[in-house]
Structure 1
């Protein structure tokens, strides 16, 4: 899902793309009559992003006069590079990426304007079934297959481990050298006693008897702006009405997801996951919905923003804290929450 390189992993591309981004800053999306085209890049294709697919499949974006061109940009660094260079108008990615760009310096900052998920989306999976109630201390001395350093999954994972008195770099044999896409395969082939997995891999492993979900990093690490729609400030300034319509459609989808059950949500998003069994999709939707992972509105509040930075700071990935108002614009989500009631 959100594969991130370390902060300095952005440096080699930012020097090139910030200049290009400045040149393209004045570009607006294509228009066709009353329809406004918006190019959206999602960091990965995931059931975790169910409200996004609901907004498309139920026609909520279309009802707002928006034509969404959705592409999967595979990784936080690639998503941000594509956004800054003008390849997409809006990115769906972790809020930490906007902070990484800010830390590198940018005349055209990336602004978070509509939150989609409000918890981490990973789960702790054990190779063997625990005997009795799970005790976090049983992880000590084990081989733990984690996510990539610098990304929110790994940072939320480390935050949770420390919360339970475990130093991930001293108490575990922590493996972070496996590419995101290969983590499930590595665990299935015998690497690690425990693994931190996104869905649907966690549920699939359970059904196949390859592992057991024993804890949720989302439930443990608390609410934070985990996945957010963001755009360059210049784009927002020049496309204020479009951003408001976008936020309205997101809010309508969030309302719909809250009102409907897993069966209805599964039917709405299944076309985006044609290679995944519907029962798996339904199980994943139920798991995410039950732990409150889907945000009920798009507002990135200051408390969540500060909690995100607490987690980044604990992981050693934050050079300096960034004020909420510097990289977050809540006007659009606040208006959408007030006006969109369906």
Structure 2
């Protein structure tokens, strides 16, 4: 069963819950508490953490209550059920919700990342690399139907590789166990997130040879999402939220990777600041961090193309239905 059907079945139940749930805010008259459910904890989200660490949300009168959901379905569950006011998650989840004819759809109002965040890592050091090198190999991919795997397959096809016939594709390993599986000898190539890709390269376990983010182009990979009712009823709060985020985006764009790493290191227990700096530099160099909160229409179209190609697009949805740039545009005036 396509992942969108499984996700849609879950969201259908959640929509019933969400219909009777109301978003609430705490704090004093001068400060609003905004509950944010992030899909995971990742250096990929550095501009957001930098905005927190630099006090930009405080400056806007916002106290964040940040929880890590560890999964796109869980992050969206928190939003739809009223357990979060804002969700940091992939834009594809809004399409799954919309496909269930939601009366209060989830809408992306601010961009955070604008490319895929995974890298192709080879076991052997290659003096030169061609995508043809993957033919006949064993490729350790990501979970079927997830955005990383959809992007991975899109990039392989773009480069003339049939992922289901030209190589042995392994998708049966849990996300958290993929790095250890590769380290223990499974696969000739693996698709990895950071900081694991850079860590493996530093330790000589593998070698980064290509970026799926660079190859796949601009995609609204992760952004801030709220229910339409929140956009209608509390745009002023979301404007302050987005202004704080934009300050963080601009700060990260202007600072050296080492300074960014120092600012966000407390968000990553047991991760050396030097490794964080390496990852920030790599993401910055390939343009993964959105430098403004505006989600571009071209990126939205590319997202749906990737989903459709993977057989995971329940229906095509116009950009202006599930993307609201009005707040971001106002912040940037």
- Scaled by the length of structure 1, what TM-score is found? 0.95
1:212 and 2:215 equivalent? no
1:133-172 matched pairs, under 5 angstroms: 133-172=128-167
1:279 and 2:263 equivalent? no
Counterpart secondary structure, 2:177: helix
For residues 32-88 of structure 1, the C-alpha deviation after alignment (integer angstroms, 9 at most, x for no partner) is 221011000111000000001011000001100000111100011111111111111
Conservation of the 8 A alpha-carbon contact between 1:123 and 1:213: yes
For residues 154-190 of structure 1, the C-alpha deviation after alignment (integer angstroms, 9 at most, x for no partner) is 1111111011000111111111111111111111111
Counterpart secondary structure, 1:97: helix
Counterpart secondary structure, 2:178: helix
Q: Which residue of 2 aligns with 1:250?
A: 245
Q: Which residue of 2 aligns with 1:32?
A: 28
Offset at residue 302 of structure 1 (A) = 1.0
1:166-181 matched pairs, under 5 angstroms: 166-181=161-176
Offset at residue 28 of structure 1 (A) = 2.7
1:35-46 matched pairs, under 5 angstroms: 35-46=31-42
Conservation of the 8 A alpha-carbon contact between 2:151 and 2:306: yes
Q: Distance in 2 between matches of 1:300 and 1:27?
A: 24
Instruction: After the TM superposition, list the runs of 4 or more consecutive aligned residues in structure 1 that deviate by more than 4 angstroms.
Output: none
Structure 1: stretches of 5+ with no match in the other structure: none
Q: Distance in 1 between matches of 2:151 and 2:314?
A: 18
Q: How many residues align?
A: 332
Q: Distance in 2 between matches of 1:108 and 1:149?
A: 28
1:51 and 2:50 equivalent? no
Counterpart secondary structure, 1:246: helix
Offset at residue 198 of structure 1 (A) = 0.2
Offset at residue 104 of structure 1 (A) = 2.5
1:20 and 2:17 equivalent? yes
Conservation of the 8 A alpha-carbon contact between 2:123 and 2:206: yes
Q: Which residue of 2 aligns with 1:325?
A: 320
Q: Distance in 1 between matches of 2:25 and 2:141?
A: 39
Counterpart secondary structure, 2:292: coil
Conservation of the 8 A alpha-carbon contact between 1:137 and 1:166: yes
Conservation of the 8 A alpha-carbon contact between 1:28 and 1:238: no
> Structure 2 residue aligned with 1:85, among 81, 85, 91?
81
Q: Distance in 1 between matches of 2:71 and 2:277?
A: 25
- Scaled by the length of structure 2, what TM-score is found? 0.97
1:125 and 2:113 equivalent? no
Counterpart secondary structure, 1:113: strand
Conservation of the 8 A alpha-carbon contact between 1:146 and 1:195: yes
